Structure 1
Amino acid sequence: MNLEKAVGFIRRFQLLAAGFILLIIGFILSPSPSNAENHAVYVIPVHNEVEKGLHAFLKRGFEEAEANGAQLIVLDIHTPGGQVNAAGEIGKLLDETKIRTVAFINDRALSAGAFISLHADAIYMVPNAQIGAAAIIDQQGNAADKKAQSYWRSAMKSAAENNGLDPLYAMAMADPAIHLPQYHAPKGELLTFSSKEALETGYSKATVRHLDDVLKAEQAAQAPLKKVEESWADKVARFVTSPVVVPILLSLASLGLILELYSPGFGLPGSIGLSSLLLFFYGHLVAGLAGYESIVLFAIGVLLVLAELFLPGGIAGFLGISAVAGSIILAGEDVKWMGMSILIAVAVALLGMILMVKVLGKKMKFFKRMILSDSTNTESGYVSNISRLELIGKTGLAKTPFRPAGTVIVDGERIDAVTEGGFIEAQKKVIIVKVEGSRIVVREIEE
């Protein structure tokens, strides 16, 4: 059964791995758009949460704009914020490009979105837009420690100063201790500018209603317009690299693979488990978080786990699981968070197994196959051995010497027996005095 399971596992893994490799090759070899005209305006959306997948998408958009000699990059911003590290890399991307950049706040630019906007060469806002509320929080949604807050406050200040803006307002967006009542930011609350307030303080260059107004203000109304859209690969990468989705994927992977170990053949649980792992690595690879070394380490881990089916000792399995866990940690950006995600996945898998076995195991045929529910009891007609009570009192002839075990012939039947402790020579007459299960006790008959 182990051999059949291993063969099925290998075949299904080969199919999934082949599909995964084709996706990677398609992503690498897909030609970048090259038909954009020179001096075009590139419009790149900055929507939803700011994370590493967004940075990878913006980086490719900036590279395309630079390769085609674009004169202006407009970031269409509508975001509630996101990861600090991703925002920092996007800010660096804006600082390093030679193309003029504009932040078009089409609704709101909060937290990390405000930080990104401050790194643009100019900010334009629609009438009801907002910018600010740039508090830094950890993965659990709590306020970050003082060290992280100090860094973030300094980063906001530097972003404002580099664009000739009053840094006090940027710091007030990140520090609730700064008191600015004239802008509805009393002590203890973060500063958030409306479009009117941003215009008054110089944070916004103009209040506009449409993108066309931004292009007119930038004297690029006649320039060709190139809107960069997220590909399906970008959308997948942004989705699977989300801090919320990562533990879910790893939980599905661990639960599916554990279920597969206890089910015959290779079926749905194993497919879900491997697909979740491949999706995890694909998204992190596209987002620029995972390198090919993590993929290689993952493949080595899988091979070692497969080798455990044929090798005794458990060493190969332990090394394989360690390699898979190491590849997952290596693929992530934050080692601490990835380690926590793995622990969450293991806990979910164990709880899921207990729930499925205890609750669903009695109701669903799939889980019944995983549980040994049959019992061999006397009521069902099963006995461990036959108790030969009818032999008590019968006499026979010792076929072999008893030291104290031997063989006796009773009514032509050879029976294994023992003495009460003494020695009996062969060919002596004996009588069976006790039967205890399979233990038959004989005694020599004195002539």
Structure 2
Amino acid sequence: ASSAWADSTVVVATYEGVINPVTAEYFHDALAFVEANRAQALIWQLDTPGGLDTSMRLIIKDITGSAIPVVVYVAPSGGRAASAGVFITLAAHIAAMAPGTNIGAAHPVAMGGGEMDKTMKEKVENDAVAYVKSIAEQRGRNVAWAEDAVRKSVSVTEKEALQLKIIDLVTEDLQVLLEKLDGRRVTTSAGTTTLKTKGAAILTFSMGWRLEMLKALSDPNIAYVLMTIGMIGVLAELYNPGAILPGIVGAISLILAFYSLQSLPVNYAGVLLVLLGVILFILEATVTSYGLLAIGGVASMILGGLMLVKTDAPFLKISWSVILPVVTLAAGFSLFVVGMGVRAMRRQPTTGSEGMVGLVGVAKTALTPQGKILVHGELWDAISEQAIQPGDQVEVTRVDGLKLYVKPASKKGDA
């Protein structure tokens, strides 16, 4: 079938970062926005180091099943389409790149922690090769290069990509891209259409605050910070009941951390190590270990951070620039807050009936054995096993309801 879009509007959606479930949802929503606004094409401006295979495949399914032409534009200058970005760019109906960008390095990486064995490595690699070849063949792109991008992690500049027929266009900006797209015939799942983009109006589709927040939460560095805050807050509340604020902040942080971790290949040994580190910091505030527990806590939290996400992909690793400050602050905060709580629990009560014990007062009447005494400016009924004369100093030994049990005091009272 052959058709021409009457509407002279295109939608531009921009994404920069790791490909993850949030990316897939954003792309799906962008396509729905194009349909709702009867725009003739979606231009997806992309800059990515790669990401999760499952999310990448969801995006490609949306592209291949779309009745709307999808243009993937690798930009701005200095951007890249690496790893999962290679597959997505090759799958686009039209692929374009800005000057100063590159594409390639699509070799699959382990997501299970450590190195894959030879057999599993071959299986994963062959599956990725078959997938990228089928995508390249469908779009008439360079199949041999696509295979090399997976097997050998080759990467090329935008000029080389154009010469090798990996992409269709090199263009400086969106306006020039629209001019170069004008008149191109594109075959989608709905048939063949001719783009009329010269002078087309541009509608921008942004993520919105919800997806922006979820994107931030999907960062493993954020997950590590939230998990640490959450554990410290909850444990601080347990050691200092009634503080309320640490418990609330801790619970919210833990919920957000677990949401973040569900989109990442999590190593639960790393989670347990972070928890152990926080517990050791708290024990350091309650037990005399001469710093051994604190040292163990530091080591445990650092190892937990390094092991938390089980992948060889560098863009999913937790940064040292995050681990070290978090461990330092966690240690200091735990020792300070929990230490305050422990000291408060150990401190002798100074109010209420328990706070009366040990106070010294003055007998206002003879205690034989019962009489009146003055303590802290208050008149109390008192009982003494020894005879006490008016004006004698007494010390409170026990409280029974509204009666004080006293004994003679050898020091001057606080009456």
Which bin holds the TM-score, normalised by the shorter protein? 0.5 to 0.7
Pair 1:175–1:357, CA change in 2 (3 A): farther
Pair 1:100–1:275, CA change in 2 (3 A): same
Q: 2:125 aligns with which of 126, 144, 149?
A: 149
Pair 1:350–1:225, CA change in 2 (3 A): same
Paired position in structure 1 for 2:178: 215
Q: 1:64 aligns with which of 16, 33, 36?
A: 33
Same amino acid, percent of matched pairs: 23
Paired position in structure 2 for 1:259: 236
Tell me the distance in 1 between the aligned counterparts of 2:94 and 2:115. Answer: 30
Tell me the distance in 1 between the aligned counterparts of 2:22 and 2:16. Answer: 12
Paired residue type of 1:163: R
Paired position in structure 2 for 1:368: 340
Aligned-CA RMSD value: 3.1
Cα deviation, residue 242, structure 1: 2.5
Which ranges in structure 2 are unaligned for 5 or more consecutive residues? 1-5, 183-196, 292-331, 349-415
Paired residue type of 1:112: A
Pair 1:363–1:227, CA change in 2 (3 A): closer
Pair 1:263–1:175, CA change in 2 (3 A): same
Paired position in structure 2 for 1:162: 138
SS of 1:82's equivalent in the other structure is: coil
Cα deviation, residue 109, structure 1: 0.8
Give yes or no for contact 1:102–1:121 (8 Å, CA) kept in 2. yes
SS of 2:283's equivalent in the other structure is: helix
Tell me the distance in 2 between the aligned counterparts of 1:361 and 1:159. Answer: 52
Paired residue type of 1:168: A
TM-score where L is the length of structure 1: 0.56
Q: How does 1:307-318 map to 2 (within 5 A)?
A: none
Give yes or no for contact 2:21–2:55 (8 Å, CA) kept in 1. yes
Paired position in structure 1 for 2:278: 349
Cα distance per residue 1:249-271 (max 9 Å; x no partner): 23322232122111030333212
Cα deviation, residue 373, structure 1: 5.3
Q: How many residues align?
A: 280
Paired position in structure 2 for 1:125: 97
Paired position in structure 2 for 1:271: 248
Instruction: Answer yes or no: is 1:52 the counterpart of 2:21.
Output: yes
SS of 1:102's equivalent in the other structure is: strand
Q: Which moved more, 1:58-67 or 1:240-249?
A: 240-249
Paired position in structure 1 for 2:220: 243
Instruction: Answer yes or no: is 1:115 the counterpart of 2:87.
Output: yes
Cα deviation, residue 153, structure 1: 2.2
Cα distance per residue 1:285-324 (max 9 Å; x no partner): xxxxxxxxxxxxxxxxxxxxxxxxxxxxxxxxxxxxxxxx
| Bigger Rg over Cα | 1
Give yes or no for contact 2:108–2:128 (8 Å, CA) kept in 1. yes
Q: 1:86 aligns with which of 37, 55, 60?
A: 55
SS of 1:203's equivalent in the other structure is: coil
Instruction: Answer yes or no: is 1:233 the counterpart of 2:233.
Output: no
TM-score where L is the length of structure 2: 0.60
Cα deviation, residue 132, structure 1: 0.4
Give yes or no for contact 1:41–1:223 (8 Å, CA) kept in 2. yes
SS of 1:265's equivalent in the other structure is: coil
Cα deviation, residue 76, structure 1: 0.6
Q: How does 1:284-323 map to 2 (within 5 A)?
A: none
Paired residue type of 1:192: S
Pair 1:63–1:262, CA change in 2 (3 A): same
Give yes or no for contact 1:255–1:352 (8 Å, CA) kept in 2. no
SS of 1:221's equivalent in the other structure is: coil
Give yes or no for contact 1:80–1:110 (8 Å, CA) kept in 2. yes
